[in-house]
Structures are given as structure tokens and as C-alpha cells.
Amino acid sequence: MAVRRSALADGRELIYFDDTDTTLGAERALDERALDPRPATAQMRQDPLTGDWISIASNRQNRVFLPPAHLDPLSPQSPGNPSEIPSRYDVAVIENKSPSFGPGLADPAASPADQLADTRTIGLERTLPSIGRCEVVCFSPEHEGSFGTQSVSRARTVIEAWAHRTAELSQLPGVQQVFPFENRGEAIGVTLGHPHGQIYSYPYVTPRTQQLLDSIDAYGPTLVADAIARELDGPRVLIRGEHWSAYVPFAARWPIEVHLVPHRHVPDFAETTLEERDELASVYLRLLRGVDALYDTPTPYIAAWHQAPVHERRDEVRLTLQLTSPRRAADKLKFLAGSEAAMGAWIGDVAPEAQAQALRAAIEGVRV
């Protein structure tokens, strides 16, 4: 699988990942656009009541919103479309034009432990630069689709890109956690129909992961392994492969919620084996196509790949996909109202066992 590096006209990194069965040649066109300078790195502000950091990235107000096909910024450039990617491609990764984090990075001389401690200190009106990096992962040159509409070969290329980028982004100064994800559907807030995902590289350990670390502290270092073992021996398993299994979790928050996990302890994509990546391509496609088979129209979702923090607890936190959708019926969505949005106190609309049964039946009918 060839990896070809390039750069956009404003200096942002562009990386091409070629399918193993690619029909493309080795040459790639240069980006000859005249672009404005990149925006300055945003500022983070701390909420002292929760310790959460909020990145105030006002440059994101100007990002493209649901453009027509002939102006798709993630399609290959053409005479009528001065897009972000100058050449035809299989899979392409670019630095985000309107990043929430970066392009600034930490001082390489500062230790990761000191940087992490600084983000966990609580104070009034604390600010820090929103260092890190945000990247866009283009799954296909086509204008429409999602991960689930790709071929097994293309899915395998995207997985290789996730592993490659996780390894490199984890080495950037100040990066504490790397998060690949895909938003699918306008109901989720997607602003581009082009099949793509993103990777955020955070300068702190995210609140979701910090909650997990707190739970590990309360239970013990085997919490994640014990919970997964219990789930895989339970009634909500959807797919059981040689290296990966999927299940509806015991305490699912969302009407549709599925976790997909490797059988052995793996902290992130960079530490998966080639055999695990090979199987994941087909298992993940089965899962996504099964979710879409529940109803007559595509289901909106967030596919969140939780990875261990870069510098701590890597032997306790396992790589896990959390696939969630607010779709609670063919024509109904779950909206986060007072209890969930304000208090973080969730109320489930669908019994996890019932949803698992429906998903199993849907998955059995799909082909990859």
C-alpha cells in the first residue's frame, strides 16, 4: 500500500494512500492555488466548575456548508472546482483548513507529563493555546457516500490511514490523545456529503476518557478487559470474528449504540496487526451496512474510535469503536433535552436487548 506525501499551497500537509489494487499512477499534481495564510491557532478556555477545556475556534464559522457536487472541496480539482485535493486519489488525508486544534504545537522541550499536568490544573479564567492538529480523511474521490458504502479494499486502505496517522500524530509535541471519527448524515450536523471522516489530535485527555480513567481508578486496572469479557459472553453480541466482535452495551445511552472491540488488548490503531486490520475492514462494513438495513433510508450516526491517551494508561484503555445514532424509529430521532443535555443524566428509549435482536437480524441479511 503506497503512501505519497505532498503539500497544499498554504503549506498544509496532504498524504495520499493508494489501494493495494489501485489503478492510479505514482505521479500527483501540485496544488497551484493562491490561498490565504492559515488561521492563527485558536485559544482554549477552561470551565473551572468542570475542568473542561473549550476551544474558541471562530475560524470554523467560515467553513463550507453543504456545497453542490460541482463545488465539492474534497473532490479532485477540476477546471470548474478549485478543491482541496489537486489529483485523483483513492484515500487522501489533509490538514483541516478550519481547525479546532492547531496548527500550533507545544514546545518540544516541555515534557508530556508537565503539559498534561498543566491542563488538569484548575483556575479562574485560565487560557491555553489550542495546540494539536485536525485532519480530514477522504474515503473516496466520489461526491456521495460514507465508510459503509466503500469496497473492502478501500475500507482496508482507510484503516491503514488511521493507523499511519495515529502513529505520527501521537509523536507531535503536546498531543495527548488522537481521535479518528466519522459523522454521517445531516441530522448529526454534517456539512459535507462527501464520504469522509476526521482525526482530532487533542492537547489534553478528553472528558470522556478522563471519566473512564476515574472508573478504572475506582474498580481496578482490569475494568475494561472485564467489562468486554462480560459483554462478549452475554446476549447482546452482534458479530463475533477471529479478532473483533461487536455488541450492544449493557447500559446503552442511544437508541442505536454499538461497540466494536479487538479481542486482545490494543491501545490504538497504530498497535493493531496487519491481520487485525484485514479482518476489521469486512467486520466494520458488515456492521455499518447492518445499521443501514434497519430502515428504508440511511441512518445518521457518529462513529467514534476511542483510543488510549498517548502518554498514560495505555495498558488499561483499549481501542473501541462507539457507534451511536439518535434514530429511535424510522421517522423519529432522539433529541438531547433537559436531563441529558443539562445534567448528563441519560434516559434510554429502546431496551438494549431489543435493539441487539433487531440489529442481529439486519446484519444477517447484508453482504460485504
Active site residues: 196
State the CB neighbour count (10 A cutoff) for residue 348: 15
In 3D, which of 91, 182, 141, 147 has the Cα closest to residue 284? 147
Q: Could you give the CA distance from residue 50 to residue 170 in angstroms, rounded to a whole number?
A: 26
Crossing angle between the packed helical segments 207-219 and 223-232, to the nearest 10 degrees: 90
Radius of gyration of the chain (CA): 20
Q: Which residues, 6+ apart, have CB-to-CB distance to 143 below 8 Å?
A: 69, 72, 75, 193, 194
Degrees, nearest 5: CA angle 315-198-284: 65
Burial of 339 (0-12, 13-18, 19+ CB in 10 A): exposed
Q: How far apart are CA 312 and CA 308, in angstroms?
A: 8
Q: Which residues pair with 202 in a beta bridge?
A: 177
Question: What are the E-state strand segments in the chain?
Answer: 3-7, 13-17, 43-46, 53-56, 91-95, 127-129, 133-138, 177-184, 196-202, 237-240, 244-247, 256-262, 301-306, 320-325, 327-329, 332-333
Chain mean position to CA 283? 17
Contact by Cβ (8 Å): 85, 15: no
User: In whole angstroms, what is the distance from residue 116 CA to residue 114 CA?
Assistant: 5
What is d(CA 211, CA 317) in angstroms, rounded to the nearest whole number?
12
